[in-house]
Amino acid sequence: MPARVTVLLGFFIVVIIWSTTPLAIKWSGDGPGYLFAVMARMVIGTVIMLLLARIKRVRVPWHRQALLTYSAAGLGIYGAMLSVYWGSQFIASGFISVIFGLTPIVTGIMAYFLLQERGLTPLRLAGILLGVAGLGVIFRRSFGLGELVTLGISAVFVSVLLHALSSVLVKRWHTDLSALSVTTGGLLLATPAYIVTWLLVDGHLPALMPASALWSIIYLGVIATGIGFTLYFYILKHMPASQVALLTLLTPVLALWIGQLFNNEIVGMSAWLGSVLILIGMSIYQWGGLWFQRPGK
């Protein structure tokens, strides 16, 4: 299979995984708690990745450049995921994906300063303003739903910042490392941190484990972590960081629809309006220059 086709196939598989992940995150914490859920997911994911690395005979080197790359990946796996799991307790699952729709903007700004990728043109700045306006609409609605909802949305936005920084740093530092090596190395650094966090903050095995929580943890550990992270770092290696962030343009509407269909989540008009503003802003940010380009240029 040609490399371009493989990258595109991986891209769309990640879209499907990311669209279903928010609801699985929410379900996984219902009963066992968010800390146990994310720790168990990462333990399962680490075991899966070590098995895959052994089966495929992929080395996980630990030289200085590799350690920098694993640390960058671990920042997203630990910091970003911990933030989003905590925030998921207080908001509808679809909101997670909507707020992550801002990732292209944040990634693009960071890539501009750290990777010297494309500059911030007036059209791109207009896209940024629309995206921020969309986030503002969502935040405004959250104020009427209580302080915890606002905190949940804020935590997910912190996750966006950490995820974008992780992506850009991985792109900056990883050279000839395989996606499997980056994922495995990142998990080997992040998973012990999760275990320590769980022991310090909670440390108790869950008394209640609903079937939906159990299967969600397994899905997140095997599919979202084992397959999703590997494919994500694979396409990140073969595409510019700002283009990889386009993943978040495709997942919000799917995630909102999945949350409504399978979890009876009520999404008001303001949430849809905020989502539309974010998506329009992201589209202008990424493709506005092409839309307004003169013919023949």
| Assigned token pair, 288 | 């506005």
Answer for the pair 53, 184: CB distance below 8 angstroms, yes or no: yes
Please name the helix (run of DSSP H) or strand (run of DSSP E) that holds residue 151, with its range, or none.
helix 147-173
C-alpha 239/C-alpha 21 separation (Å) is 23
Least confident of 42-46, 179-183, 240-244: 240-244
- Residues with Cβ < 8 Å from 121, sequence gap 6 or more? 288, 289
| Cα pseudo-dihedral 69, 74, 75, 78, rounded to 10 | 180
C-alpha 120/C-alpha 128 separation (Å) is 10
Banded model confidence at residue 156, pLDDT cuts 50, 70, 90: very high
Q: Cα dist. 75→30, 166, 253 in Å?
A: 25, 6, 27
- Residues with Cβ < 8 Å from 16, sequence gap 6 or more? none
Residue-wise over 37-51: b if at least 16 C-beta within 10 A, else e? Answer: bbbbbbbbbbebbee
Which pLDDT value is given to residue 126?
83
Which pLDDT value is given to residue 212?
93
Which residue shows structure tokens 């995206």? 131
- Maximal CA-CA distance, the chain: 66
pLDDT tens digit string along 12-45? 898 899 889 999 999 999 989 999 999 999 999 9
What is the average per-residue pLDDT within 39-63?
92
For 292, list phi and psi in degrees, rounded to 5: -100, 15
User: What single letter denotes the amino acid at residue 168?
Assistant: V
pLDDT tens digit string along 196-212? 999 999 988 988 899 99
Using the predicted structure, report yes or no on whether residue 184 has a pLDDT greater than 90. yes
| Cα pseudo-dihedral 107, 112, 118, 119, rounded to 10 | 120
